[in-house]
Amino acid sequence: MSSFSSSSSSTAAAAVLLLAVSLAAAVTVNEPIADGLSWSFYDSSCPSVEGTVRWHVAEALRRDMGIAAGLIRIFFHDCFPQGCDASVLLSGSKSEQLEIPNQTLRPEALKLIDDIRAALHRACGPKVSCSDITTLATRDAVVATGGPYFDVPLGRRDGFSPASSDLVGTLPAPFFDVPTLMEAFKNRSLDTADLVALSGAHTVGRGHCASFSDRLPPNVDDTIDPAFREKLTAKCANDPNATQVLDVRTPNAFDNKYYFDLIAKQGLFKSDQGLMDHPATKRMATRFSLNQGAFFDQFARSMVKMSQMDVLTGNKGEIRHLNCAVPNAAAASSPGVLVLRTDQQDDGLAADA
């Protein structure tokens, strides 16, 4: 009995703490938003949208925490090349998923986005775009792993076609130095603060050996902790398909320990480590290591900014209604080939009716 009451009171205390923490970590971003987006876009057409996305993300993360990192990276790979239009979700011979940088987008996270689309279209009809679902699910993945809550403006529509290889090629590479990273970001109207804060998404998730082999023998790299380098070298020699967590301190928690890693020369990619070594970024990276609130605040701002890159709104683009992997025109011309799962076909037909 006493153990019951003490455990229930500690549960209550934990709940209060959690509430306090989640309130403390909420960031309000009050900047002007892109034309056609709104903070209340689905209030009348699909009021359950945010709750539904949150519930599905929580369920998925209960099974596999790694899906959080998967979502966050998909969002970046969607927005950066040609804007947040869910083009990265499209399958087919011109799919962005066939391009090298995304060799490693997690299929479980891609599937989750489409599962959420199916649930929302059952509840509201084909009102919610795959790009808004990707944006909301990413925000919820950040919150669920311990990061800041922030509102995202909604009303994005889905693009008709994948980004070209040239555009996908504008995604920054892990072997870029800081000036090249800054240029790549600047080309997409993202500044140095965006670079330093958004790179902090590498506080969760993993990388494959091919993404950091440039830092291992026979190459020379004196910016990496020698013991860490030795461990990575052994791991990758053993299995070239091996993965390494991006944040060695707290691999599944969205916190500022990534910046501690950089201080300890344990950033996984050259692009990570550079942030602590280059004069243009070192001060801010150090500040984020000392002040998690400052990191969360800038991260939320930069995410809201990135979420509005070249968005399609109004009557541009479409709401993909058969499947997030298939534009509606292609779905209409050859439905049989493009259906991935039978329940999605039912859903698409219901949406048409």
Ligand X SMILES: *[C@@H]1O[C@H](CO)[C@@H](O)[C@H](O)[C@H]1NC(C)=O
Q: How many Cβ atoms sit within 10 Å of the Cβ of residue 249?
A: 16
Q: Is 165 in the site for ligand X (CB under 6 A)?
A: no
Is 50 marked as a binding-site residue?
A: no
Cα 217 off chain centre by: 31
Q: In this structure, what is the dihedral angle of CA atoms 257, 259, 265, 266, given to the nearest 10 degrees?
A: 40
- Is the bond preceding 218 in cis, omega lying within 30 degrees of 0? yes
Q: Which residue has its beta carbon closest to ligand HEM?
A: 205
Query: Which residue's entry shows tokens 């009451």?
Result: 5
Gyration radius (Cα) of the chain, Å: 21
Is 121 marked as a binding-site residue?
A: no
Taking the chain, what is the end-to-end CA distance rounded to the nearest angstrom? 57
- Alpha-helical (H) ranges within the chain are 2-24, 49-63, 66-82, 107-124, 130-144, 165-168, 178-187, 192-199, 226-238, 257-263, 270-277, 282-290, 292-306, 328-333, 335-338, 342-352
φ and ψ at residue 298, rounded to 5 degrees: -70, -35
Judged by CB under 6 A, which of 170, 213, 233, 286 binds ligand X?
A: 170
Q: Is 60 in the site for ligand HEM (CB under 6 A)?
A: no
User: Annotated catalytic, 77?
Assistant: yes
* Smallest distance from ligand HEM to CB 138, Å: 8
* Smallest distance from ligand X to CB 176, Å: 7
d(CA 104, CA 91): 15
* Smallest distance from ligand HEM to CB 318, Å: 26
Q: Is 164 in the site for ligand X (CB under 6 A)?
A: no
Number of residues that bind ligand X (CB under 6 A): 15
Q: How many Cβ atoms sit within 10 Å of the Cβ of residue 11?
A: 10
Judged by CB under 6 A, which of 73, 121, 257, 301 binds ligand HEM?
A: 73
Closest CA to 242 of 227, 252, 250, 231: 231
Q: Is 83 in the site for ligand HEM (CB under 6 A)?
A: no
Among ligand HEM, ligand X, none, partner that 73 touches (CB below 5 to 8 angstroms by kind)? ligand HEM
Nearer to ligand X, 110 or 311 (CB): 110
* Contact present, 217 and 109 (Cβ < 8 Å): no
Q: Is 271 in the site for ligand X (CB under 6 A)?
A: no
Nearer to ligand HEM, 79 or 330 (CB): 79
Is 87 marked as a binding-site residue?
A: yes
Judged by CB under 6 A, which of 56, 121, 139, 206 binds ligand HEM?
A: 206
Q: Is 94 in the site for ligand HEM (CB under 6 A)?
A: no
d(CA 14, CA 220): 48
Judged by CB under 6 A, which of 207, 267, 274, 317 binds ligand HEM?
A: 207
Contact footprint for ligand X (CB under 6 A): 97-98, 102-103, 105, 107, 110, 170, 180, 183-184, 187, 239-241
Residues with catalytic roles: 77
Contact footprint for ligand HEM (CB under 6 A): 66, 69-70, 72-73, 76, 104, 106, 172-174, 176, 181, 195, 198-199, 201-202, 204-208, 211, 246, 269, 271
